[in-house]
Amino acid sequence: MKSYQDMSRNELLREKNRLESQFEEVKAKGLKLDMSRGKPSAAQLDLSMGMMDVLSSETVLKGVQGLDCRNYGVLDGIIEAKQLLADMTEVPVDNIIIFGNSSLNIMFDTVAHAYSHGVCGAKPWCKYDTPVKFLCPVPGYDRHFAITEYFGIEMINIPMNEDGPDMDKVEELVNNDPLVKGIWCVPKYSNPDGIVYSDEVVKRFANLNPAAEDFRIYWDNAYSIHHLYFDDKAEILEILHECKKAGHPDMVYKFCSTSKVSFPGSGIAAMGTSKTNIADIKQQMTVQTIGHDKVNQLRHVKFFKDIDGMMAHMEKHADILRPKFEAVLDTLEAELGELGVGSWTKPKGGYFISFYALEGCAKAIVEKAKEAGVVMTGAGATYPYHNDPQDSNIRIAPSFPTLEEMTQAAKIFALSVKIVSADKILETK
């Protein structure tokens, strides 16, 4: 088939009428398909059900150091849980703190601490006469942007390249503006593009010379072991090690959790960072809590045993996820590949596919798909303030529906793209 741009006005009108008839047939089916968020499916959650059996009333709930996990104590996590998540995060065990069930919660608390009390003795962000600033690689993770927006922090868009953020722009802003206090990063299989930061990008991050003494890189390792292809998995340089080599050991907060490894909402989360930062964070923790859930920490250790056990578990996740991603990509290629109405990423891991529609079409496509019963992430959500300047990016989340549902949803999405794109192009013909 010709691209829509190459069709005459009459050809495109005929095509649009044909598509509208198809759409009415789909609408009449009354479908309800949800691919709005990157939630694991029931089949993925089933993989961790054995975790419910590793503890019982007969279990001696003591860690390897003899600590009774039922009681108070151990602010930063039991040593075996620290070792497991240190291995997952690729940092030394002395550089890890175990928190509760959510890395998002840690990120919120870290920003809140900086805002109210300052970072390592620096001026609290709330004491500035003008709002402090955060850099936001776009498209990016909506919940990151929600945190900084909540605190009234000014967010600055940083374009993403194929190997990570535009480091020329990052260096210019970080090295010259003392109000720039942080940057959000998802360095491996980024949300939503699935981009993996190159060695050069990681090294340039490590060699930043911030104008602000309290600048930190908020390095969200959300998908660090979430490969779709274990025979072709991405590897990136370890940022704490690179920062230490560059003489900036305190510049990174590295976050991870088992939310998409075991049970979302019932996992364990951690931060990897320098000992100086750990001491600063513990000052808040000693007031905030007497300790996080050590029984849950022990349960995770007994279930996974070590990082090899965790990686074997993740291969099972990949076996469930991979066909869904491939079904979406195959559908997009078959339905849209020759039409010139969009482009999309082909990630090797993570939880999302990023679709780029013709400029000015994303919101209309999402609304059109919703008419036919397919709920997607709102257009604009992948940008600060929900404002995509091009109205182009749409995040596709293949994980939650079944394979059959996902294939169906992908076809409806492609149909919606065709109709909205045809309308857009007809405006100029």
pLDDT (tens, 9 = 90+) of the chain, 429 residues, equals: 789 999 999 999 999 999 999 999 999 999 899 888 889 999 999 999 999 999 999 998 998 888 899 999 899 999 999 999 999 999 999 999 999 999 999 999 999 999 999 999 999 999 999 999 999 999 999 999 999 999 999 999 999 999 999 999 999 999 999 999 999 999 999 999 999 999 999 999 999 999 999 999 999 999 999 999 999 999 999 999 999 999 999 999 999 999 999 999 899 999 999 999 999 999 999 999 999 999 999 999 999 999 999 999 999 999 999 999 999 999 999 999 999 999 999 999 999 999 999 999 999 999 999 999 999 999 999 999 999 999 999 999 999 999 999 999 999 999 999 999 999 999 987
The span from the CA of 294 to the CA of 72, in Å, is 9
Give the residue among 210, 212, 221, 151 at the shortest CA–CA distance from 184. 221
Which pair of tokens denotes residue 208? 């930043």
Q: What's the confidence (pLDDT) of residue 172?
A: 98
Q: Exposure of 120 by Cβ count < 10 A (0-12 exposed, 13-18 middle, 19+ buried)? A: middle
User: Quick one: pLDDT at residue 73?
Assistant: 87
Residue 357 and residue 421 in contact, taking contact as beta carbons nearer than 8 Å: yes
H or E stretch covering 249: none
**pLDDT score for 36:** 85
> CA angle, corner 212, sides to 208 and 217, nearest 5?
50
Q: What is the pLDDT of residue 219?
A: 98
List, in order of start, the domains of the chain with CATH numbers: 4-44+311-426 (3.90.1150.10), 62-305 (3.40.640.10)
Q: What is the CA radius of gyration of the chain?
A: 23
The pLDDT value recorded for residue 339 is: 96
CA torsion 81-82-86-88 (nearest 10°) is 20
